[in-house]
Amino acid sequence: MSGGESHPEPLVGPVVLIGPPGAGKSTVGALAARRLGLPFLDLDDEIARAAGSSVDELFVAEGETSFRVREAAALHAALDGRNVVIAAGAGVVDAAPNRTALARAHVIWLDVDDDTALLRLAGARPWLPADREEQRTAYRLREARRRALRATLAAARVDGRAAPDVAAAALSDVVAALPLPVAEWRGDALAEPRVVERAAAEPSGLVAGGLALIDDGVPQAVPGVRLPGGERSKTTAGLERVLRVLHASYGRARARQDAEPIVAVGGGAFLDVVGTAAALWRRGTPWIAVPTTPLAMADAALGGKTALDLDDTKNALGAFHAPDETQLWLGFLASASAVQLADGQAEALKHAWLTGTPLEDKAEPARWVRRSLAIKAGVVARDPRERGLRRALNLGHTVGHALERVHGLSHGEAVRRGLLATLWLSEELLGLDRAVSSWLRPTVAALGPLPPFALDAERAQQALSRDKKGGRFVLLAALGRPVLVTPPAALVPEALAVAARGTELPP
C-alpha cells in the first residue's frame, strides 16, 4: 500500500494463543501480531501491570490460587471483541470458567513436546525447577491433562518447535484465514443472542405479554398499538411519538413497568426507533424484537444496535440495547414485496461473502434468513459493543449509508451498491483476486437491477466524512476474509462513482 493509509486490520476478533510453558507464545504471538497488523497482548503482562509486580513475584508472594484469580479477570477483560492476538499462560485452560470464556475467541494452540519445553525452561522459571526428576514427572502429568483440554478448545495447532519467525509465519497464516464465528441453530432456537422461531399459523401469539407496538405498514392482524414505521419514523420526532405512547400506557397500568417487556413488531426502521425508545425508557427497559420484513429478519432484529437518523447522517444517534429475545415468524414474508425481498437478500449476501460463500439459495428466504441470523449471532455474541470483529458486518455499508441518506435509496439497494464499491476498492487496495470479484459482482446484480444515477458527489462525500467509522472501510482481502482499511482519499470519489454506476441489468 502507498503511504498515508493504514495497514489492513484483519477482522478476526480476539485470538488466544494457548500452549505449554516454553512454547514461545509471547515471542511468536508478538511476531505474528506484527505481521498481521494486529495489536498483541500478553496476559501475564496485563496481570503484572494490574498487580504492580511481576508474575514470578506474584507466584512466590501470593501462591498459585491467587494468581489464577487474577489471570481469570485479565482473560475476561481481554475478550471484549477487539481484533487482537493474546498470549495466555499455560495454566489458563485449567479453570472451567476460563474455558467457557475462551468460547468468545479463536483459540490457537502453539505446541511443543515436553522434552523441548523442559529444555527451553531450564533455569527460566523459578517455580519450575527442571533439573529435579520429581518436578519433571509432575510437569509431564500436568501437561498431559492440559493437552487433552487444549485439544478440545483449539481451532488449530501450530508447531512451536520451529524458529520463532517460522512459527510466527505459520501462525499468522492460520489467523488470517480464520472463519467468522457462526452460531448454531438448536431446533428452532439460537442461544446467544436469543432467537426463537415461531411456527404458529397466525402472528397473534407473538405478542403475548408486554406492550406491543406495531409498525403500521404490517398488513397482518397483530394486536397492539399501531405507529408509523419506515425510514421516516426513524427520527427524533418518531422517537418522541413512541416515548409518549409508553408514557401514556405505563402511566395507566403501573404494574406493567416492572416485569413486562416492550414488544416491537415491524421492519428494521421501526425496530430501530422502538429499540432506541426502550433504551431510554426508565433508563433501559427490556424489549422483544419481532421482525416483519426480510431485511429486519436477516439482520436488524438482532444484535442490539438501535439507531435514529439526523439530517443527512444515517444512524447518527442510538444505543447498544439488545432485545431480550428476537422472535422469528416467517409468515410475515408472505406480504414482502420484490423490493423488500431484494433488500433482505442484500444483507444475506453480505453475510454470505463474510463467511466465504456466494448466495446460492436466494429463492429460499427461510434458509437465508436462518443462516444470516446464525452468522450475525455468532459475531455479536463475541463482540456485542463493536470493538473489533463486529465491524465486519459493516461490509458495503459505509458507501451504502452515504447513498441511502443523500439519494433516498432503500437500505438494501444502498447496501448492494456499497458491495459493488467494496469489490472495486478491494481489488485496487488489497489485490482481491479478479476471478473472485468477477464471480461475486453478478451475485449483486442478480438481486435486481441497479441502474446508473447521477451522483451528488459533494453531498455523498460529506455524508461519508460524517460516518462514525472514521474513514475506515470494511474490504475483502479474499472471500470470507474481511479487513478494515483506510483508503487513500483520492480513491473514495471513484468508489462512490462505482456504486452510482451500478449494473444496468441483472445477468
Q: State the residues that interact with ligand NAD by CB under 6 A.
A: 215, 217-219, 229-231, 234, 266-270, 272, 292-293, 295-296, 299-300, 303, 305, 307, 315, 332, 335-336, 340, 343, 411-412
Closer residue to ligand NAD (CB): 44 or 215: 215
Query: How near is the Cβ of 343 to ligand NAD at its closest, in Å?
Result: 5
Give the nearest residue (CB) to ligand NAD: 217
DSSP string computed for 229-278: -SGGGSSHHHHHHHHHHHHHHHHH-TTHHHHPPEEEEE-HHHHHHHHHHH
Residue (of 159, 185, 120, 232) closest to 377 by Cα position: 185
CB atoms within 10 A of CB 465: 12
Closer residue to ligand NAD (CB): 112 or 348: 348
Cα separations (Å) of 4 from 7, 58, 462, 485, 496? 10, 43, 20, 11, 20
Closer residue to ligand NAD (CB): 89 or 266: 266
Query: How near is the Cβ of 397 to ligand NAD at its closest, in Å?
Result: 8
CA–CA separation, 415 and 455 (whole Å): 16
Closer residue to ligand NAD (CB): 8 or 396: 396
Grid cell, residue 168, equals 510466527
Query: How near is the Cβ of 121 to ligand NAD at its closest, in Å?
Result: 48
CB atoms within 10 A of CB 276: 23
Query: How near is the Cβ of 360 to ligand NAD at its closest, in Å?
Result: 22
Closer residue to ligand NAD (CB): 42 or 343: 343
Greatest extent of the chain over all pairs of C-alpha atoms, in Å: 79
Query: How near is the Cβ of 331 to ligand NAD at its closest, in Å?
Result: 9
Query: How near is the Cβ of 229 to ligand NAD at its closest, in Å?
Result: 3
Closer residue to ligand NAD (CB): 340 or 503: 340
The separation between CA 408 and the C-alpha centre of its own chain, rounded to angstroms, equals 27
Query: How near is the Cβ of 472 to ligand NAD at its closest, in Å?
Result: 18
Closer residue to ligand NAD (CB): 20 or 268: 268
Closer residue to ligand NAD (CB): 230 or 488: 230
Query: How near is the Cβ of 300 to ligand NAD at its closest, in Å?
Result: 3
Helix axis angle for 164-176 and 25-36, nearest 10°, is 50
DSSP string computed for 370-406: HHHHHHHHHHHHH-TT-SSGGGGGGTTHHHHHHHHHH
